[in-house]
Amino acid sequence: MNISLLLCNLIAQSRLPMHTYSRIFLTVQKFICEIYNVSGTLDVDAARLQLFLNNYTVSDVNEEFNPKSLKNFDASNLPPCKTELFQQYLRANYIASIWNNANEKQPTIFTPENNGWTLEENQYHFH
């Protein structure tokens, strides 16, 4: 099965218990690693490190860090870290659960507070 179709199917499964998030999140990480063309890596933090090392390498391990050599490095080209990706995944799952069950009286069993948002002064904000 194509990984993008698999990811869409995983997100479409809206009423998942919390303990299944970790199993699905591994598939999400694999998908992100493939999008960023880091083959053989299943962890987004390892993919971030690999992409950084591909652009910034030192000739000697004892060489002092030189920020000038990072002038042309754009960190926005890196995938999100695992923590941020998980928050994005929680928010996407929450929104998908509402849309997938919009015809029901109670469209979601999830609460925003457990799915990537915090309630501050009667307004929801991203973590």
Each domain of the chain, given as residue ranges in start order, spans: 3-126
**What pLDDT shows up at residue 76?**
86
Q: 93-106: per-residue pLDDT in tens? A: 888 888 888 888 88
State the Cα–Cα distance between residues 67 and 114, nearest whole angstrom: 39
Q: Is 67 exposed, middle or buried (0-12, 13-18, 19+ CB in 10 A)?
A: exposed
**What pLDDT shows up at residue 11?**
56
**This prediction's pTM:** 0.69
Ramachandran class of 59: left when φ > 0, alpha when ψ lies in -120 to 50, beta otherwise: alpha
Q: 41-66: per-residue pLDDT in tens? A: 899 999 999 988 887 766 667 777 77
Helix (H) or strand (E) holding 119: strand 117-120
Cβ-contact 99, 108 below 8 angstroms? no
